[in-house]
Structure 1
Amino acid sequence: MRFLLIEDNKQLASAVVDRLMLDGHVVDHAPDIQTAHDFRSTTVYDLILLDIMLPDGDGRSFLAACRNQDSRTPVIVLTARSEVADRVGMLDLGADDYMVKPIDFSELEARCRAVLRRRGGEARNLLTLGDVQFDSKSGTLSVGAHTVQLRARELRLFEVLANAPDKVFAKASLVDQLVSYDEDVSENAIEVYVGRLRRHLHGSGVKITTIRGLGYKLEVA
């Protein structure tokens, strides 16, 4: 998943980015509202983590602008404000969840998973595709009685493909969802991750098919 973190505290932002990237997420960091708008103009995000007090304005104006544009990207607000009126106000503006600083990273990860499941219409971490089970929380892939622990980018790549079976994803699109602006990763890396997933899926009714000249899609027998 690709996240946008809008936070002006460099130390907190670095800690959040490092933690979420350990989970295999791609995280772009915007220290102010203008940078966040610039990022959103060129990139589609799965989730936005939004601070309120920013150098060039109030995070609420950014949230309002997103919702006025009919953006359905989930937004979790991160703020030091704990008053009920503040929480209610942010939720009424269109925030999907709200966390008061200081942030517990385990709770943040759980809230991200919960918000993404709700937005995708899923109630659980477990996804079943034919004879394959995928647990996004534990990062495991099970084929029959055999279970493997996926590496971070394998996990996120399978998550992207598995949430849209039969949809063709171009390599460039997959790179965009798996790699942040700060990283230099070529499209060839996607071939490596796909190869690893194919080995894990060997013998199952789930396969990742190459569509020549277009990209990859996941198929369930």
Structure 2
Amino acid sequence: MRLLLVEDEVEMARALSTVLVQNSHVVDHMTLLEHAREALRSKVHDAVILDRQLPDGDGLILLREMRDAGDKTPVIILTAHNAPGDRVGGLDDGADDYLGKPFLADELMARLRAVVRRSESYTSQVFTGGNVSIDLDHQELMVNGEVVTLTRREMLVLQLLVKRAGKTVLRGTLEEAVYGYDDEIQSNALDSHVSRLRRKLADADASVTIHTIRGIGYLLKGE
């Protein structure tokens, strides 16, 4: 998933980003409401993790703006403002979940999976076809019952191709899913990820293959 993290504390943001990346997510980090608003206009994020006490205002302001505009992107409030009244107010303003600091990383990951599952855009996160099983919730690919190890970006590529299996996925759409705003993208980086992923599928005798649609993108097909 591609996540928008709105957090102004540098150390907290760095720790959060590390955990999220380790769980195979792409993270766009913003420290101001103003910049978060700009990021949300891109419509590329699957969920938002939002602090409240930000330099240019309360994160709830952004949350209300999102809901008033009809933006239903799942939002988890992650904040030190954790009194019962704060939690009630945040949930009433449209938050999908509200978690106080300090928190356990595993709990945040579980809550993130839960709010995305409850979202209107959620579809089954388990893909099976032939001898292939892909559990996107747990970031696991199995072929013939054996786990095939993928890098984070290989899994992100596979995740989007699986969700759109049988349809061509544009290069630009894949790059949006794999790279954050701050990532440096080499001209052939995406092709390299796809090439390695294709080789791993072939080496495992997977019954799905990735086809190149020259000049357009890629297509995942079952054999």
Relative to the length of structure 1, the TM-score reads 0.89
Q: Is the 8 A contact 1:140 1:147 kept in 2?
A: yes
Q: Is the 8 Å Cα contact of residues 172 and 187 (structure 1) preserved in structure 2?
A: no
- Range with bigger deviation, 10-19 or 161-170: 161-170
Deviates most, 159-168 or 49-58: 159-168
2:222 — aligned with what? 220
Q: Could you tell me which residue of structure 2 aligns to residue 121 of structure 1?
A: 122
Tell me how far apart the structure 2 counterparts of residues 69 and 166 of structure 1 sit (CA, whole Å).
33
Superposed, 1:190-205 pairs within 5 Å as 190-202=190-202, 203-205=205-207
CA distance in 1 between partners of 2:127 and 2:110 (Å): 17
1:28 matched residue in structure 2: 28
Q: Is the alpha carbon distance of 1:55 and 1:72 closer, same or farther for their aligned partners in structure 2, counting shifts above 3 Å?
A: same
Give the deviation of 1:204 after TM superposition. 2.9
How many Å separate the matches in 2 of 1:207 and 1:90?
45
- Using the aligned pairs only, state the percent identity: 40
Q: Is the 8 A contact 1:47 1:74 kept in 2?
A: yes
Query: In the alignment, residue 215 of structure 1 is paired with which amino acid?
Result: G
Q: Distance in 2 between matches of 1:88 and 1:122?
A: 29
Aligned-partner Cα distance in 2 for 1:187–1:24? 22
Q: Secondary structure at the match of 1:183?
A: coil
CA distance, structure 1, for counterparts of residue 70 and residue 187 of structure 2: 31
How many pairs does the alignment contain?
Answer: 220
8 Å CA contact 1:175, 1:186 repeated in 2:
no
Tell me, yes or no, if structure 1 residue 79 matches structure 2 residue 79.
Answer: yes
1:7 aligns with 2:10: no
Q: Which moved more, 1:141-150 or 1:52-61?
A: 141-150
Change (3 A) 1:144 1:210: same
Distance in 1, Cα, partners of 2:159 & 2:196: 14
Q: Report what 1:179 is aligned to.
A: 179
Closer/same/farther in 2, CA of residues 32 and 90 from structure 1, 3 Å limit: same
Which residue number corresponds to residue 18 of structure 1? 18
Residue segments in structure 1 that go unaligned for 5+ positions in a row: none
| Structure 1 residue 77: Cα displacement | 0.8
Q: Which residue number corresponds to residue 135 of structure 1? A: 135
User: Alpha carbons of 1:72 and 1:144: their partners in 2 closer, same or farther (altered >3 Å)?
Assistant: same
Contact 1:171–1:187 (Cα < 8 Å) also in 2: no
Quote the offset at 1:215 in angstroms: 0.4
SS at match of 1:103: coil
- Deviation, 1:196, is 2.0
Distance in 2 separating the partners of 1:143 and 1:3: 28
For the 8 Å contact 1:64–1:93, the answer to whether it is kept is: yes
SS in 2 for 1:4: strand
> Which residue identity is paired with 1:207?
T
Q: CA RMSD in A?
A: 2.0
The within-5 A match list for 1:142-161 is: 142-161=142-161
What amino acid is the match of 2:208?
A: V
Give, in angstroms, the shift of residue 212 of structure 1: 2.1
Amino acid at match of 1:210: T
Corresponding position of 2:209: 207
Q: 1:188 — aligned with what?
A: 188
- Provide the rounded CA distance (Å) in 1 between the counterparts of 2:114 and 2:208: 26
Q: Please, what TM-score do these two structures have when normalized by structure 2?
A: 0.89
* Alignment correspondent of 2:67: 67
Match of 1:93 in 2: 93
